[in-house]
Copies of this chain bind each other. A is one copy, B any other.
Amino acid sequence: MSDVAIIGVGQTPFVRRCGTSIQELCFEAFKEAIDDAKIPAKEIDASIICSAPEYDKQRSPAGVISEYLGLTPPRPAFYCESVCSSSSTGLKVAWSFIESGLHEMVAVIGFQKMSEISSADVQERMGRGADIMWESPFGTMMPAYYAMFARAYMHDYGLTEEQLALVRVKNAKYASLNPKAVYRKEVTLEQVLTSRVIASPLKMFDCCVNADGASCLILASKERALRAKTTPIWVAGIGAGTSSVNMARRESMTSFVSAREAARQAYDMAGIGPEDIDVAEVHDCFTIAEIIAYGDLGFCKPGEGPKLIEEKQSYLEGRIPVNLDGGLLSKGHPIGATGGSQIRTIVKQLRGEAGETQVEGAKMGLVHNIGGVGVYGNVTILKR
């Protein structure tokens, strides 16, 4: 448990936004967050800007974005990156700034503008996030890596393509209730199974959707949070870990040591276990990633992820509801904005503001956010 709370959250719709600058995208999320927190921008001491680089012409975007938002000059701003988990890393840094007494209120702004470069270029940039000496020159790209993990899970634990597809069916169902999701259609098991193959056994509907978007979190010290005109949601646990980038050095293809280490740290700090979590957001960049997350977070035993989804335990009515906002699969995955969006969903759940997808009486929530090919693992535990 800690003395730092989230007092405001904001997110743009995750869609294609060709004519919108990164500054404008970030402003939309930021405005929603400060309106949510009911504070003026000038109360914020520092800002942390999070994304994956090389998608924009603008280099070092922290300066132009924080200025456009009215946060600077003269207060500090900088840039923080762990690819797809950048804004979870930003939250960890913001938490430390406040807990250490350096700052009292910090904004974490995550964004990604993916629509201005071609899909091939997106894949190329993502590929260069893996090991460029031993792997990416041989053509490995994100779907290929995750297809390998799915095959390994099939080999080790008898996972089926139908079980993978069930993850997308669930997340699409909840995305249909999320006005900010890019893909708001429910899909059937058959639609997933008959969608075109991307990297066998993964088909199109096993893969998440690229999008443009931004998210914003406002963190505050206990003193400032208790004065806020909103329900503070406390940061109870934070954890981060790293896996080997090189696949050949990994001890497992069905689990990420980064995520297990992050979960261990976060549960320890919060003084709780997986059984205490009421609602979770996990990093489902591919259907297999959600199956792997179930085990890494201790929601089930290793290898029992397929059973969890088959028994609908991760549905709203189940034992551990997961990705009730549609997940990366259907809500969309604008890299740097994703962690902040996941955290926003859990904050809304813990405040009781989740509408049709509300988990009744949710008190403790968890966010699992992965960067790279399982390289960076981040787990955040929030408490009402």
Contact = CB atoms under 8 A, between A and B. Distances in A.
Interface in A44-79: 46, 52-54, 57-60, 62-64, 66-67, 72-79
**8 tightest A-B CB contacts, nearest first:** A76-B240, A99-B100, A72-B242, A96-B96, A53-B53, A74-B261, A100-B100, A79-B81
B67 A245 contact: yes
9 contacts: A52-B60, A58-B128, A59-B128, A60-B371, A60-B375, A77-B242, A77-B376, A78-B89, A95-B100
A154 interface: no
A219 to B, nearest CB: 12
A262 B77 CA distance: 12
Given A60-B129, A67-B245, A93 B95 contact: no
A46 B261 CA distance: 12
A67 B82 CA distance: 14
Nearest to A101: B99
Indicate the size class of the contact surface on chain A: 35 or more
A131 B99 CA distance: 33
Given A59-B128, A60-B371, A96-B93, A241 B73 contact: yes
Contact of A73 (B67, B75, B100, B244): B244
Nearest to A62: B82
A351 interface: no
Interface of A: 21, 46, 52-54, 57-60, 62-64, 66-67, 72-83, 89, 92-93, 95-97, 99-102, 125, 128-129, 131-133, 238, 240-246, 249, 257-258, 260-262, 371-372, 375-376
**Residue among A72, A242, A258 with the highest chain B CB neighbour number at 10 A:** A242
Given A67-B246, A76-B262, A96-B96, 14 more contacts: A54-B59, A59-B83, A60-B372, A62-B82, A63-B245, A64-B132, A73-B257, A74-B242, A74-B257, A74-B261, A76-B241, A78-B89, A93-B93, A96-B102
A262 B76 CA distance: 8
Contacts of A100: 95-96, 99-100
A334 B129 CA distance: 22
Contacts of A76: 240-242, 261-262, 376
Nearest to A269: B102
A102 B249 CA distance: 28
B66 A102 contact: no
Contacts of A59: 52-54, 83, 125, 128-129, 132
B99 A82 contact: no
Contacts of A375: 60, 63
Contact of A242 (B73, B99, B249, B372): B73
A184 to B, nearest CB: 31
Contacts of A125: 59
Contact of A75 (B52, B53, B77, B241): B241
Contact of A81 (B60, B89, B243): B60
